[in-house]
Structure 1
Amino acid sequence: MKTNASRPSPLQRPRRWLLLASLSIGAAAADAAPAAPALRSLTVAAASGRQAQSLDGVVEALRQTVVAAQVAGAIVQLDVKAGDRVKAGQVLMRIDARAAEQAANASEAQAQAARASLQLASREFERQQLLHKQHYISQAALDQAEAQYKATQAQVNAQLAQLAVARTQSGFNTVRSPYDGVVAELPVTLGDMAMPGRALVTVYDPSALRVTANVPQSIAAGLAAGSAPMVEIPGLAGGMLAPTRVQQLPIVDASSHTLQLRLDLAPKLTGAVPGMFARVWLPGSVAAAAASPAVPRTAVVRRAELSGLYVLDGQGKPLLRQVRLGAVRGEQVEVLSGLSVGEKIALDPQAAARIR
């Protein structure tokens, strides 16, 4: 006689079927879920040595003078304004010179009195010499007359020197241009008080300009052996400018480890003024020694003042890292710091931001 003990009871069968159905639905749902899209990335490589490296510079004047006051007094005449072209020796302003003129007049009067005394002493000495020849006076009397004459002559010389000083000081009240140039700055107005050492006007020579840039010490040696760099002044017609002379100062700044590079521009360059931004392009052979990596501009993340890139770690997880950007060349931007050659970056920053 057979028994049905191994068969499930009717009450157990629905539970078993429900469990199998749940497992089948879960497996189907897992198979139907779309796979996460692969994050597009780029391996950072060193920039090509053929690309020239650029440095930020500034336009300077070879001759730029700050004319300061040498005497105290109120400014009573102002003949120029900022931007005016002036000639050498042209009067720029006048300082109240009444006190100086009175001092000069007093010195001149004293000099005239000393001259009169000298004439009297000279005649007296001549008479004493005649009397001595006729043996009417002694040698001591003649020596005394000679000493009086020489003392009077010395007083006249002192008065004349004092008169020259007074006239020179009165000339300090007239401020003149030291050379042909342009008035760059005029920090005073009519009626201001001039004091010794106070800056009154700044004049520069527009016919002789140069561009100054700081070159990193690591590429300064290669620059000396390479070809001459080029200068670009944005907004100035003419494109690249070839300097007439390149000078590299033999002093390294201890804080930034850079050397100053001076590039003289062509004489009488139209449109360039001191203080303008300039870009110095170094030769390609020099740039290859210290080329910075370049990345696509679309991969850069900008948040307020922060510029960053999503860098992939060893597990492929993107991490936002702050970088310092340099020059933009088309669709590529130079990364000066914060990124090393061989690292991978995410090309789609929005997709990388969604990965946790």
Structure 2
Amino acid sequence: MNDIFDSVRRLLCGAVLLAAGVASPALAEVPTLRVEAAQSALSMPFEASIEAVHQSVVAARVPGRILAYEVDAGDRVARGEVLVRIDAEEAAAGLAQAEAGVAQAEAALINARANFTRSQALFERRFISQAALDQARAGLDAAEAAMRAAQAGRSQAGVARDYGEIRAPFDGLVAARHAEPGEMAQPGMPLLTVYQPGAMRALVDLPQRQFAGLEGRPLQARVEVVDDGRFIDAAAVTVLPAADARTHTLRMRVDLPPAVEGVLPGMFVRVHLLGGEAARLMVPGEAVLRRGELTALYVADGDGRFVLRQVRVGAPGADGRVEVLAGLRAGETIALDPVAAGIAAAAGRSR
């Protein structure tokens, strides 16, 4: 019981001291930083999305009912592996028709050869004219051409029948399935999306007025993964040499290094284009206090107190620091812990 009474007594004494404006030593020791302008790289942020460098929408090439999917979204596939089976009855019927056409052309060719052989023997014995021999030769040439056409048609029909099995164009991952078994597939109908996960890039629609200031110099960029705050140095930056007539933007491709973890097609990222250096006021991100629409810093006023001052900041950098665009001057001291600074400021006002 005596221990409980002692604890309560100490808490009450602490509350009385705080109400009287006497801050505890722990609250008074707020870490600070003197802000100075420093040279740092300029960057322009742009919203972007991720896509795979090697991605393919696998589509049907013959009409028919979808019999089965051999894979589903998320499965790994190997080049040449069967992905979808289509009941290509029309293609099978076309192959049978082509086979019949080859048999018919073969019979006509046999007949034309026999006719030409007979005509050649009769011409040597002067029983027929040169014109009749030429006609037999033309009939043989036509039969041979018809045979070649029939064989080509059979090959084409065989290929069309093979289109009933949709195979993977490369090693990769299945990103999405666009149809279900039992549906009727038509030529060009998307069935699956397959991509290679090892190579990714960010796509940026760059306004042409901003591209004018970047033209003619090498481009460097960093990709910010918004979800986890990572910054990834771009392997290459390419601006396509044509603008969109509707949006008046240029498409920029920012290639990521190979095998980056945690980056998937369709993800939202932010691309920071780097160019030149300038003197900027950079402060640690944890020193910035954000409360709704308010963005502020606790600034030392020179009398041992902190004053909450609203500031305007830019996008965070790769090291977690942010640029103060307005509301702070070089040489001023800020609190690194806004919570402790707020408590100290409240204690100072109570005194």
Deviation of 1:141 (Å):
2.8
Q: 1:226 to 1:89 in 2, by over 3 A?
A: closer
Q: Per-residue displacement from partner, 1:103-147 (whole Å, max 9, x unpaired)?
A: 201211220121122022112211221221122333233223223
Q: What SS does the aligned partner of 1:175 have?
A: strand
Q: Is the 8 A contact 2:40 2:279 kept in 1?
A: no
Does structure 2 conserve the Cα–Cα contact (< 8 Å) formed by 1:301 and 1:309?
Answer: yes
Structure-2 separation of matches of 1:251 and 1:182: 31
2:46 aligned with 1:55, yes or no? yes
Gap change, CA 1:51 and 1:115, over 3 Å in 2: same
Matches within 5 A, 1:187-336: 187-215=178-206, 217-218=209-210, 221-222=213-214, 225=217, 228-234=220-226, 239-251=230-242, 259-283=250-274, 285=276, 288=278, 298=289, 302=292, 307=293, 327=315
Amino acid at match of 1:135: R
Identity, % of aligned positions: 37
Counterparts in 2 of 1:139 and 1:240: CA distance versus 1, 3 Å = same
Higher strand share: 2
RMSD (Å), alpha carbons = 4.1
- Alpha carbons 2:314, 2:322 under 8 Å: kept: no
Distance 2:95 2:280 in 1: 66
| Matching residue within 165, 171, 175 for 1:180 | 171
Structure 1 residue 181, shift from structure 2 partner: 1.6
Partner of 1:120: 111
Contact 2:49–2:267 (CA under 8 A) maintained in structure 1: yes
* Conserved 8 A contact 1:325-1:334: yes
Q: Secondary structure at the match of 2:131?
A: helix
Separation (CA, whole Å) in 1 of partners of 2:219 and 2:129: 89
CA contact (8 A) 1:244 1:265 kept: yes
CA distance in 2, matches of 1:176, 1:274: 22
Q: Could you tell me how far 1:236 is from its partner in structure 2?
A: 6.7
TM-score by length of 1: 0.63
Looking at structure 1, the residues matched to 211 and 151 of structure 2 have their Cα atoms a distance apart, in angstroms, of 62
2:132 is aligned with 1:144: no
Match of 1:64 in 2: 55
Alignment-mate amino acid for residue 221 of structure 2? P
Is residue 209–residue 267 contact of structure 1 (8 Å, CA) maintained in 2? yes
Q: 2:54–2:195: 8 Å Cα contact kept in structure 1?
A: yes
Query: How far apart, in 2, do the equivalents of 1:254 and 1:123 lie?
Result: 66
SS in 2 for 1:94: strand
Structure 1 residue 60: Cα displacement: 1.5
Q: Write the distance in 1 (CA, Å) between the matches of 2:280 and 2:154.
A: 66
- Helix, strand or coil for the counterpart of 1:269? coil
Matched to 1:221, the amino acid is: G
| Residue identity matched to 2:315 | A
Are the aligned partners of 1:223 and 1:282 in contact in 2 as well (CA < 8 Å)? no
Contact 2:175 2:194 in 1 (8 A): yes
Q: Which has the larger radius of gyration?
A: 1
Q: Measure, in 1, the Cα distance between the counterparts of 2:145 and 2:218.
A: 67
State the match for 2:301 in structure 1.
none
- How many angstroms apart in 2 are the aligned matches of 1:232 and 1:98? 51
Which of 242-251 and 102-111 deviates more? Answer: 242-251
Seen in structure 2, the aligned counterparts of structure 1 residues 182 and 147 have a Cα distance that, compared at 3 Å, is same
How far apart are the structure 1 equivalents of 2:243 and 2:256? 24
Q: State the AA in 2 paired with 1:155.
A: A
> TM (normalized to structure 2)?
0.64
What's the secondary structure of 1:285's corresponding residue?
Answer: strand
Distance 1:341 1:222 in 2: 30
Give the letter for the 2:48 counterpart. Answer: G
Contiguous gaps of at least 5 residues in structure 1:
1-46, 311-323, 343-347, 349-356
Match of 2:305 in 1: none
